[in-house]
Every structure is written in structure tokens, then in C-alpha cells.
Amino acid sequence: MSRLRIAAILLAAAALGSCKLELTPDGMAKAYRGIKEARKDLTPENEYYVGRAVATNILARGNYKYRDAQGFQSGKLEGMTAYVNAVGSVIANASLSVVHEDDREAPLAGWHFVVLEDKTINAFAAPGGYVFVTSGAIEKAGSEDELAAILAHEVAHVRRGHALGSIKKSRFSGVFKEMLDSSVQLDAAALGKLTEVFDGAMDDMTDSLLVKGYSRDTEFEADKVGLEIMIKAGYDPKAFVTYLNKLKATQATGSGGFSATHPKATDRIAKLEAQVKKAPAITVPPARVARFKAVVLGVE
């Protein structure tokens, strides 16, 4: 065993403080497992805390107000927020039947959908199942099925761990998997190091969500998986394309909002066309049309 290898083990042991380490060759090998990919290596517990902080940062950085704050306090949602949460729950439950390799586990605190008071068209998903959609994006949708498309795209981002994947690998330099185990007692130095990592990870994720956006391929994947979820839930897959067509017109003149963080709607439509053609045709019942009009447009 090289001196460097022994030094790494001792460093890991010191960082782990009172954590029990197995001093067997296998235990030693485990003692300094680095974080290779946050999207795969972070535990659901880590994701829960990261998600809480990302959601809090989104609200703070955008200085957002959100609908039905009173309902969230009392636990009984009303109006548009209750409606969006009902559609979101249908989508989130269906997403568990759409399984891909390396999907994140179901969020520890469940799924929550928040309507932001903002006329720009946008939606964000923090890790851990906190989904934000602007009132502008909902009003742009002409139907419940189009709203379902927006939410399915965001749920797909969470299931695929896209926000976690935007954390720079260099952030985890000097951090070991064992330090992320919630049963491990950390000393002050290790705790300080992890807080520094957490802080940096927040910058990476909020920048990706609010400013820079994800890569084009990441967005295309969220569209593809989102469409699969919509189909599984029983929503009309054509509504995904209908909504993207509306965005195409807005994107041509718009700046900021989704325009700054998403690929061109025409490219997204082109990627989805074959998938939509293969999907079974859906007849949207009048009740679904009527309730969207009543809740979102205020038309009885």
C-alpha cells in the first residue's frame, strides 16, 4: 500500500471523527470512497436537505410571492394551488411507473407544487420534489393537459436528478461518501467542510435553475420522460406539443424566464414528434376542460 493511499485513509478516518471504521482491507478501501457523481452518490436524505435549501433560495432570489400561503400554513390548499397540486399528484404518482436506470428514489417529503405570482412564463423543480410554476405559465396553458405537460417536465427533472447533476464535481474534493451518511457523527472540521460544499452546491443549482439553464440534452431528456409520464397518467400527449407551440411564439420575442434557460421550442417539438405519434389517442372529457376554465380562467 502506497504512502499516499495510507495518508488518504488516515485523512478520511480523521474527517469521520467518531464514526466506526472497519480496519480490514475492505473497510480501508471503503473509508475513502470519493463522490464521483452527486446525481448518483447523494443519498435521499442528502437530497431532502439540499432540496429544502434550493427551494428556499429560489423563493429568495426571485423575491417570489406565492399563491395560497395561508393554505400552506393551515395544510388545506384552496383554489388554483389545490388544483395544481391535484394535477401534480396525478403526474407524480404516475412517474413511479415510468422507471429508468439511475432514477432518484421517491422524495422523502413527497411532492409539492407551488404557484408563483409572476406573469413571466417559467417553472422550476428543486431536488426533493419541490416544484414551482409561475401564474404566467399556467395562464399560458389552455387546458389541464397542457398544465400537466409543464408539471410532467418538472417532475422528470427531479426523477432524473438533473439539479443534483449540475453541482460541480470539484465541490466534492476531499469529501467522502461516508461523510454523507446521516448515521455518522462528524467532527467540527468535517462539518465545516460539508457546509462549504453545501453552500457551493446551492450556487451551482440555483444558477442552473434560474440563470444558465441545463444542457440541451438534459432538457430534451426531461421532455421525453415527462411525455412518458403524461401518457401513463392518462393525459393527452399532443398537449405537450400544443404548449411548446405557444412557447415558440413567445420565445421569438421574449427574454429571461424560460427563454433564457431552455432550448428553442422548435427543437424540442422536433425531438418529441415521433414519441407523440406513437402514443395512443386520448379523448379529453368535457369535465376536464370545464374545471380548468373554472379554476384558471374563472369561466363557469
Active site residues: 154
Our CB check for other proteins shows the closer of 85 and 166 to be: 85
* Least distance in angstroms from the C-beta of 41 to other proteins: 12
In sequence order, what E strands does the chain have?
Answer: 112-116, 123-126, 130-134
Question: What 3-state class would DSSP assign to 125?
Answer: strand
The pattern of x and - marking residues 53 through 92 that bind other proteins according to CB under 8 A reads: x-xxx-xx-----x--x-xxx-x-x-------xx--xx--
* Interior angle at CA 115, CA 100 and CA 206, nearest 5: 60
* Least distance in angstroms from the C-beta of 97 to other proteins: 4
Site for other proteins in 225-254 (CB under 8 A): 231-235
Applying CB under 8 A, does 172 fall inside the site for other proteins?
no
Which position among 30, 246, 264, 288 is part of the footprint of other proteins (CB under 8 A)?
Answer: 288
Which position among 39, 67, 112, 238 is part of the footprint of other proteins (CB under 8 A)?
Answer: 112
Strands 123-126 vs 130-134: parallel, antiparallel or unpaired: antiparallel
As a 3-state breakdown, the chain gives helix, strand, coil percent values, each rounded to 5, of 65, 5, 30
| Span of 1-9, 38-46, 210-218, 270-278 interacting with other proteins by CB under 8 A | 38-46
Applying CB under 8 A, does 124 fall inside the site for other proteins?
no
| Span of 25-33, 116-124, 184-192, 219-227 interacting with other proteins by CB under 8 A | 184-192
Cell numbers placing 87: 394535477
Contacts of 258 (CB under 8 A, 6+ apart): 121, 122, 123, 137, 247, 251
Give the residue among 154, 155, 139, 153 at the shortest CA–CA distance from 292.
Answer: 139
Q: Strand order in 112-116's β-sheet?
A: 112-116, 130-134, 123-126
Which position among 11, 106, 276, 279 is part of the footprint of other proteins (CB under 8 A)?
Answer: 106
Applying CB under 8 A, does 296 fall inside the site for other proteins?
no
Applying CB under 8 A, does 206 fall inside the site for other proteins?
no
Which position among 13, 48, 174, 264 is part of the footprint of other proteins (CB under 8 A)?
Answer: 48
Contact 210, 124 (CB under 8 A): yes
Applying CB under 8 A, does 199 fall inside the site for other proteins?
yes
